[in-house]
């Protein structure tokens, strides 16, 4: 452990990932050394209209760019690496990750044109990474719904800080990717000052089942199905993909892979040796229709009912290469991410209508298991690490809180458990921890190429426009006597269907005219008051007639 310097403190905080699911980014700072763990993205909330993705506010990091020693990646999921291209544009620091994680990252950086200028450092379970003069990171293998996931132990002069990453304990992992219980035991034995642990399933009692269970169910379904089998799952779940391929092999079926991200992940994972694909088992989508139905498995994206995904297109019979046929078996091997329930439900309905037999997790069919540990596994982690201080991470507030109670239940002193929001700094000095203010933190909204150029005003306007549309009112007044030269012309978008509402709009016209004429007679002619009066009069009338409040945009010109 490096030597303690005068009045240097240990600071731990999250820039994303606490009191939310997504955009994970955690920071550990000692003195002049800053290390970042993960750089994820989040998908927009329903009130972020038109927004594509959300990333963390990294103001603190850019303001301290000279101190940032690197970004450690725990695994290759979007909510942990998806923000990298944006972060690295503003902060060129080394990125540390395991083989598969870096493989997925490099793909992203290529697309963003950042591959050349980004230093990438390959780590494995035994790596040691020196971070500046005061900190060192080591790693331990975990089980998760993507291979090559690790937890991180950061040795600091104050003591060791452990970040679990996303984890479960799978005692029968696919491809024998066992979690390194021994390393965890060692780390715990040496002593853990602070533990940051995954809270996703803190509300779920018991143990999360092994991924192998899904393999058994898949084998069974593949065997019984007398026609084609379609399996939709998360592309990044390489273990799941492996089991689909094995079940296909065992039942004498060929596999075709459909969907950009699925093709992408399978390619990378095979190249890097995380996927064992028997020779000749993969076929092109075009070959599917030439083969006997009971010899085919279609592995595709769309397990969340995403509108543009492969499965959704098939369900709507709009996919260029594959149609769903009566008698096909469709397996949706995933649970809905909150908010997606309706989309998936619709896809399932459409598949049934096409005559397919649909097997989905709602019908507790065993075709999906979570990648996150349940309460008993969270307690196991707590007991392996026996931390002095505990910071539940990676979950909505209710999950963090439940995780905190689990911490207390295994003996962590409740005064030593910190429920934090993004930006809240936990400061540890001389073995004492306390909340010490905030660093800048928040949502950076990405809309197309725009990063952060859409703020509350724009979102409020989009919200208004989405509810009742807009009316543009155009009038030209005469410079001389202020009489109306042309207009008012009213253009409506998203308010009412004009053909059906001529009467309403004619009346609206009259109201605008009379309002303006009245004001002119009173010699009111400042732009502002003319516009405001038109807005008010028209708004009142329309609300009275329709109980709607369209945005009103008066355009008054003078000639």
The structure tokens listed for 309 are: 């995904």
290 versus 547: smaller Cβ distance to its own copies: 547
Q: Out of 453, 502, 517, 536, point to the residue binding its own copies (CB under 8 A).
A: 453
Q: Is 279 annotated among the ligand-binding residues?
A: no
CB of 341 to its own copies, least distance (A): 5
**Does residue 527 bind its own copies (CB under 8 A)?**
no
Q: Out of 106, 203, 306, 429, point to the residue binding its own copies (CB under 8 A).
A: 203
Helix, strand and coil in the chain, % to nearest 5: 35, 25, 40
CB of 320 to its own copies, least distance (A): 24
**Does residue 64 bind its own copies (CB under 8 A)?**
no
**Does residue 465 bind its own copies (CB under 8 A)?**
yes
How far is 552 from 535, CA to CA, in rounded Å?
A: 6
Number of C-beta neighbours around residue 198 at 10 A: 30
4 versus 462: smaller Cβ distance to its own copies: 462
How far is 105 from 98, CA to CA, in rounded Å?
A: 10
The structure tokens listed for 177 are: 């990717």
338 versus 411: smaller Cβ distance to its own copies: 338
Q: Out of 181, 277, 282, 470, point to the residue binding its own copies (CB under 8 A).
A: 470
Q: Active-site residue 198, yes or no? A: yes
Q: Three-state DSSP class for 286?
A: helix
What value, to the nearest 5°, has the Cα angle with vertex 393 and ends 399 and 39? 130
- Asked if 137 and 33 count as a contact pair (C-beta separation under 8 A), the reply is no
Q: Which of 42, 45, 40, 77 is nearest to 339 (CA)?
A: 45
How far is 364 from 367, CA to CA, in rounded Å?
A: 8
Phi, psi of 72 (to 5 degrees): -95, 130
**Does residue 510 bind its own copies (CB under 8 A)?**
no
By CB under 8 A, which span of 43-51, 112-120, 187-195, 426-434 interacts with its own copies? 43-51
In the chain, DSSP finds a helix count (H) and a strand count (E) of 16, 25
By CB under 8 A, which span of 186-194, 293-301, 334-342, 531-539 interacts with its own copies? 334-342
355 versus 431: smaller Cβ distance to its own copies: 355
The structure tokens listed for 424 are: 């809240």
Catalytic residue among 239, 319, 372, 403: 372
Print burial letters for 164-180: b (CB count within 10 Å at least 16), e (below 16): bbbbbbbeebbeebebb
CB of 554 to its own copies, least distance (A): 10
**Does residue 348 bind its own copies (CB under 8 A)?**
yes
**Does residue 379 bind its own copies (CB under 8 A)?**
no
What number of chain residues touch its own copies (CB under 8 A)? 64
Q: Out of 112, 181, 263, 553, point to the residue binding its own copies (CB under 8 A).
A: 553
25 versus 454: smaller Cβ distance to its own copies: 454
278 versus 307: smaller Cβ distance to its own copies: 307
Q: Write the CB contacts of 107 (distance below 8 Å, at least 6 apart in sequence).
A: 264, 268
What value, to the nearest 5°, has the Cα angle with vertex 153 and ends 151 and 154? 135
Q: Is 239 annotated among the ligand-binding residues?
A: no
Query: What H or E segment, with its residue span, contains residue 348?
Result: helix 341-353
Query: What H or E segment, with its residue span, contains residue 183?
Result: helix 181-190
Q: Is 236 annotated among the ligand-binding residues?
A: yes
Sign of CA dihedral 184, 185, 188, 189: negative
The residue to which tokens 């950009």 are assigned: 260
379 versus 401: smaller Cβ distance to its own copies: 401
Q: Active-site residue 453, yes or no? A: no
Cα 509 from chain centroid? 47
Q: Three-state DSSP class for 224?
A: helix
- Asked if 343 and 384 count as a contact pair (C-beta separation under 8 A), the reply is no
CB of 358 to its own copies, least distance (A): 7
How far is 287 from 296, CA to CA, in rounded Å?
A: 10
Mark residues 14-33: x for contact with its own copies by CB under 8 A, - for none.
Answer: -----x--------------
136 versus 438: smaller Cβ distance to its own copies: 438
Catalytic residue among 38, 198, 328, 468: 198
**Does residue 509 bind its own copies (CB under 8 A)?**
no
**Does residue 113 bind its own copies (CB under 8 A)?**
no
Q: Out of 272, 380, 520, 555, point to the residue binding its own copies (CB under 8 A).
A: 555
**Does residue 414 bind its own copies (CB under 8 A)?**
no
The residue to which tokens 């549309």 are assigned: 469
- Name residues contacting its own copies, limited to 121-160 (CB under 8 A): none
Which positions make up the binding site for substrate?
235-237, 368-372
* Catalytic (active-site) positions: 198, 372
Which residues sit at the interface with its own copies, rule CB under 8 A? 19, 45-46, 49-50, 203, 338-339, 341-342, 345, 348-349, 352-353, 358, 362-363, 396-398, 401, 447-450, 453-455, 457-459, 461-470, 472, 474, 476, 485-486, 491, 493-497, 500-501, 545-548, 551, 553, 555, 557, 559
């Amino acid at each position: 452990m490096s030597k303690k310097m005068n009045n240097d403190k240990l600071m731990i905080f999250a820039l994303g990932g606490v009191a939310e699911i997504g955009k994970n980014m955690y920071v550990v700072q000692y003195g002049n050394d800053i290390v970042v763990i993960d750089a994820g993205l989040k998908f927009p909330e329903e009130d972020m209209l038109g927004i594509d993705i959300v990333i963390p506010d990294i103001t603190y990091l850019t303001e301290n760019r000279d101190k940032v020693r690197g970004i450690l990646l725990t695994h290759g999921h979007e909510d942990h690496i998806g923000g990298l291209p944006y972060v690295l544009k503003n902060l060129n620091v080394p990125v540390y990750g395991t083989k598969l994680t870096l493989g997925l990252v490099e793909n992203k950086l290529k697309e963003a044109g950042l591959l050349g200028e980004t230093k990438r450092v390959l780590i494995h379970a035994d790596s040691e990474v020196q971070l500046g003069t005061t900190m060192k990171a080591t790693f331990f293998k975990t089980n998760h719904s993507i291979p090559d996931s690790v937890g991180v132990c950061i040795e600091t002069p104050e003591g060791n800080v452990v970040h679990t990453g996303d984890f479960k304990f799978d005692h029968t992992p696919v491809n024998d990717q066992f979690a390194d219980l021994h390393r965890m035991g060692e780390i715990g034995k040496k002593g853990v000052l602070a533990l940051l642990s995954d809270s996703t399933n803190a509300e779920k009692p018991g143990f999360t089942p092994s991924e192998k269970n899904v393999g058994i169910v898949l084998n069974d379904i593949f065997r019984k199905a007398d026609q084609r089998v379609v399996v939709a799952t998360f592309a990044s779940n390489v273990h799941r993909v492996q089991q689909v391929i094995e079940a296909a092999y065992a039942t004498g079926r060929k596999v075709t892979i459909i969907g950009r991200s699925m093709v992408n992940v399978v390619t990378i994972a095979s190249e890097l040796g995380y996927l064992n694909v028997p020779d000749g088992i993969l076929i092109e989508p075009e070959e599917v229709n030439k083969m006997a139905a009971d010899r085919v498995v279609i592995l595709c994206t769309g397990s969340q009912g995403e509108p543009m995904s492969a499965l959704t297109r098939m369900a709507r019979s709009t996919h260029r290469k594959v149609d769903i046929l009566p008698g096909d078996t469709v397996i949706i091997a995933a649970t809905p991410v909150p908010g997606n329930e309706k989309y998936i439900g619709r896809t399932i309905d459409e598949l049934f209508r096409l005559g397919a037999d649909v097997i989905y997790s709602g019908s507790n069919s065993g075709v999906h298991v979570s990648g996150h540990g349940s309460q008993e596994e969270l307690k196991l982690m707590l007991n392996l690490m026996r931390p002095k201080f505990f910071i539940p991470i990676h979950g909505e507030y209710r999950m963090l809180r439940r995780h905190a109670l689990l911490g207390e239940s295994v003996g962590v002193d409740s005064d030593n458990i910190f429920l934090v929001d993004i930006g809240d700094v936990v400061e540890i000095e001389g073995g004492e921890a306390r909340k010490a203010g905030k660093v800048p933190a928040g949502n950076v909204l990405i809309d197309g190429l725009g990063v952060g150029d859409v703020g509350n005003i724009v979102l409020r306007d989009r919200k208004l426009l989405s509810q009742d549309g807009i009316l543009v009112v155009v009038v030209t007044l005469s410079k001389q006597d202020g009489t109306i030269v042309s207009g008012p012309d009213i253009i409506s978008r998203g308010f009412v269907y004009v053909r059906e509402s001529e009467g309403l709009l004619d009346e609206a016209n009259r109201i605008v005219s009379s309002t303006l004429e009245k004001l002119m007679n009173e010699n009111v002619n400042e732009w502002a008051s003319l516009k405001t009066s038109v807005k008010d009069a028209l708004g009142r009338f329309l609300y009275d007639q329709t109980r709607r409040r369209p945005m009103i945009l008066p355009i008054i010109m003078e000639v």
